[in-house]
Structure 1
Amino acid sequence: MQIVVVGGGIGGLAAALGLRRAGHRVTVLERAREIAEVGAGIGLAPNAAAALGRLGVGHRLERTAVRPRFATRRRWQDGSDLFVDPLADVEERYGAPFWFAHRGDLQAALLAEAEDEPGVGEPVTVVLGAKCESVDAQTGVVLTAAGEYRADLVIGADGIRSAVRETVFGPVTPRYSGETGYRTQVQTDAALADPLLRDLVERNGFESWLGPNGHVVHCRFRGGREINVTACMQAPPISTGASAAQVDRSELMSALEGWSPVIRRLAELGGDVIRYDLFDIDPVESWVDGKVGLLGDAAHAMIPYLGQGAAQAIEDGEYLMRVFPGVDPSGVDGALKEYERGRKERAVKVQTTSRNNAGVFHMPDGPEQEARDARIRRGATDANIYDWLWRLPTRGGVAA
């Protein structure tokens, strides 16, 4: 079949690669003029790593991804451990490693595997500067400013403000969550040279600090040479109306007022600070119509409080690979419905849990926070979630 994927981000490239490996001819339409390095660190839990392995791209990413030794929850004021999960046996427990990578490295790995001539199936064609204006679900016609594309199947992977979703399923307005993120990167050598930070950096953990009205996550990446630091805080939206902007470090440090000197020092050592407001949407009633299916943020955008936004998009792409082998145009409707049945319940559960975690992570100190910390120490907040989340389900919905 001739398939068009709208959107060349992580989800769109995972879908394109999966459908290529399923035996189809795939064109990706990307509105940007180049597929460039975007964002920063991304946690790839075993379910994401397993899906990447099945897509044939794991060998490209493991060159730069880091395997943290621990996943940790800490108290905001003093850094004391609430929960520590040694990740040494994570591959044995869940069938795949835990990686922390750069989003740009992940996107580049997916793109290289999709376009590589020796890969399985026909190489994917990527068209840049092709902004989608509308899609006809019945004919499979995609209109862009540069021209018209006809497809047997169209996958809308064009993000939270999806043009595909709007033209086929109707408007959905992304909602500001009341949470914003501050992102910066620290050179590992500089942090190791600081006596206050040396032990923390050498620990090589995926660290999460929980505090009132916010939490901070940090982990080494890019072969261990850098540390990604992200602070998610309750705040009004960016005053200019932009969804992201570079801000002065003082804004980040003000948000961390009263936090442990260790985490404040780590933030001080970072480079530029990018602020990005966090939006999500309610679960979309239907992901499929005619020749069109939604994927990733277009279908289930979520705030990053389970570290699963990209992972669920990758799972979507890997599931398409398993549903579409041997499918011809007459079978598209049935295959799309199977894709929705196989993916929607799990993705919506992750989406809802991510939203609820804002309240769990950002409790003010007091009796509720003390009860939460007791649950975390017992593993009730993390280990129980890992049991269903970190195992990649098979096509029948049973964990692999």
Structure 2
Amino acid sequence: MEFAAAATEKHEIVIIGGGICGLATALALHRKGLKSIVLERSETLRAVGGGIGLLPNAWRALDQLGVGSRLRSMAVLLQGGRDISLDENKERKIEHVIGESRCVKRSDLITVLADELPIGTIRLGSEVVSIDLDSVTEMSRLLLTSGSYIDAEIVIGCEGGRSKVAELLGLKAPRAFDIGVFRGLTTYPNAHSMPHEFRRTTKGKIGVGMLPITQHLINWFVALPTHLLSGDKFPHDPKHIKQMTLELIKDFPSSIQETIELSDLDSLSTAHLRYRAPWDLLLGTMRKGTVTVAGDAMHVMGPFLGQGGAAGLEDAVVLGRCLDMAMSGIEGNNKKEKIAKIEAGLDQYVKERRMRVLGLSTLTYLIGIIVGSTSPIVKMVVGLAIAILFRDRAFHVQYDCGKL
């Protein structure tokens, strides 16, 4: 396909999606002296989900991006965790993660990443309608809802599980777990009394997780199999979300009910958990020409390991490093040589990330089956598979994505 006219704009690197991974990728490139623009369809930078738990591997990536210190001042250090079963009236400590663990507000993470970018990098209200690859110029043409065009030498899709870039690459659409989640934040003006630890309380098929962010702020979620929901399965109105959540946890301790009751309405959200199948990650095409994907667009996964956002941060560091190495070796105006080196850099990025996210996605997929299944036999078989395949259960937090 050939394009008839010159694009309204031309850019070397275009990132689609202004979420955590998109902004982190732009920042990684900026740190290496590579200019990019970020196209975000929303009129504001959004941070759906309330809080995000960040384990040691995530902090290694944030430090490489140069924002770790600032974020540390916004969240308390977590000291392990606790599992509480109301059915069995039992309580056990969750094995403490060796290293730094904190939960931060997603909006804080988004803001900190955005603040470090040059003015004009982020373009709000810029939704991409279509992406075409020109076999002659080897450029990508993006059509926006405004009717304008952008030609780009490199396109990085960071626009989540329903990514147009992933679709262009031929990646299969994400699948749905049989699990729904309700999420929110609760502010305590006079401070809360929750210890600095992750608490997971279960009763029947319903689980409630709580993590303190600061002395005044708690991040919480309620997870359950979707078959337990009825009527409007995933409400979007905040008042309806709170009402349904309180109904779901009516048999939980009053302290948990109080936290949900006091939650900040504008922080509430619901989601049907989705994942990209491990076999699709193993066999799927992650690069076509100078187009690739990162973050959820590549490897949307369940939240059971707390690694979805962290993996996106790792992607950003590795992608920034690989593109810098590729483009620093480009000399002169030889277009074909430049494209070949960029493609080689993207191939190196895909090679480094594929097996890492395959391991994360496989484990979250197996845990998702256990959480969503009603069959004791299925739970037992999958639990055995996890024990065999993942003897080192801390592999995901020990990982180091390396220097930017």
* TM-score between the two structures when normalised by the length of structure 2: 0.80
> Residues 43 and 258 of structure 1: is their aligned pair in 2 closer, same or farther, counting only changes over 3 Å?
same
Map 1:113-128 to 2 at 5 A. 113-115=116-118, 125-128=121-124
- Larger CA deviation: 357-366 vs 97-106: 357-366
Q: Distance in 2 between matches of 1:153 and 1:239?
A: 45
Q: Which residue of 2 aligns with 1:16?
A: 26
Q: Which residue of 2 aligns with 1:327?
A: 326
> Residues 31 and 211 of structure 1: is their aligned pair in 2 closer, same or farther, counting only changes over 3 Å?
same
Would you say the 8 A contact 1:48–1:392 is kept in 2? no
> Residues 384 and 275 of structure 1: is their aligned pair in 2 closer, same or farther, counting only changes over 3 Å?
same
Q: Which residue of 2 aligns with 1:53?
A: 63
Residue 117 of structure 2: SS of its match in structure 1?
Answer: helix
Q: Which residue of 2 aligns with 1:229?
A: 220
> Residues 292 and 184 of structure 1: is their aligned pair in 2 closer, same or farther, counting only changes over 3 Å?
same
Q: Which residue of 2 aligns with 1:119?
A: none
Residue 103 of structure 2: SS of its match in structure 1?
Answer: strand
Q: Distance in 2 between matches of 1:78 and 1:28?
A: 50
Residue 152 of structure 1: SS of its match in structure 2?
Answer: strand
Tell me if 1:276 matches 2:284. no
Q: Distance in 2 between matches of 1:49 and 1:233?
A: 29
1:248 CA drift (Å): 4.7
Tell me if 1:391 matches 2:388. no
Tell me if 1:105 matches 2:112. no
Q: Which residue of 1 aligns with 2:80?
A: 70
Q: Distance in 2 between matches of 1:57 and 1:149?
A: 30
Would you say the 8 A contact 2:191–2:215 is kept in 1? no
Q: Distance in 2 between matches of 1:165 and 1:371?
A: 32
Would you say the 8 A contact 1:181–1:277 is kept in 2? yes
Q: Which residue of 1 aligns with 2:158?
A: 157
Q: Distance in 1 between matches of 2:174 and 2:232?
A: 17
Q: Distance in 2 between matches of 1:75 and 1:104?
A: 32
Q: Distance in 2 between matches of 1:358 and 1:72?
A: 20
> Residues 340 and 239 of structure 1: is their aligned pair in 2 closer, same or farther, counting only changes over 3 Å?
farther
Tell me if 1:289 matches 2:299. no
Deviations 1:81-124 (A, max 9, x none): 3233346xx33xxxxx2121000000111111123xxxxxxx66
Residue 42 of structure 2: SS of its match in structure 1?
Answer: coil
1:66 CA drift (Å): 2.1
Q: Distance in 2 between matches of 1:32 and 1:161?
A: 15
Aligned AA (2:313): I
Aligned AA (1:355): Y
Residue 339 of structure 1: SS of its match in structure 2?
Answer: helix
Tell me if 1:267 matches 2:260. yes
Q: Distance in 2 between matches of 1:383 and 1:226?
A: 35
Would you say the 8 A contact 1:308–1:350 is kept in 2? yes
Would you say the 8 A contact 1:43–1:101 is kept in 2? yes
Would you say the 8 A contact 2:155–2:291 is kept in 1? yes
Unmatched 5+ residue regions in structure 1?
92-96, 116-122, 193-197
Q: Distance in 2 between matches of 1:29 and 1:63?
A: 29
Deviations 1:295-343 (A, max 9, x none): 1111111121111111111110011122122423331111111111100
**Root mean square deviation of aligned Cα:** 3.5
Count of residues paired in the alignment? 370
1:78 CA drift (Å): 6.7
Unmatched 5+ residue regions in structure 2?
1-10, 328-337
Deviations 1:133-160 (A, max 9, x none): 2223442222213322222211011111
Identity, % of aligned pairs?
25
1:271 CA drift (Å): 3.9
> Residues 225 and 307 of structure 1: is their aligned pair in 2 closer, same or farther, counting only changes over 3 Å?
same
Q: Distance in 2 between matches of 1:140 and 1:269?
A: 48
> Residues 259 and 131 of structure 1: is their aligned pair in 2 closer, same or farther, counting only changes over 3 Å?
same
Deviations 1:165-212 (A, max 9, x none): 22x2247433332211112322335774xxxxx4xx1x2211222443
Please point out which of 354, 359, 376 is paired with 1:344. 354
Q: Which residue of 1 aligns with 2:8?
A: none
Q: Distance in 2 between matches of 1:291 and 1:36?
A: 27
* TM-score between the two structures when normalised by the length of structure 1: 0.81
Residue 108 of structure 1: SS of its match in structure 2?
Answer: helix
1:344 CA drift (Å): 1.1
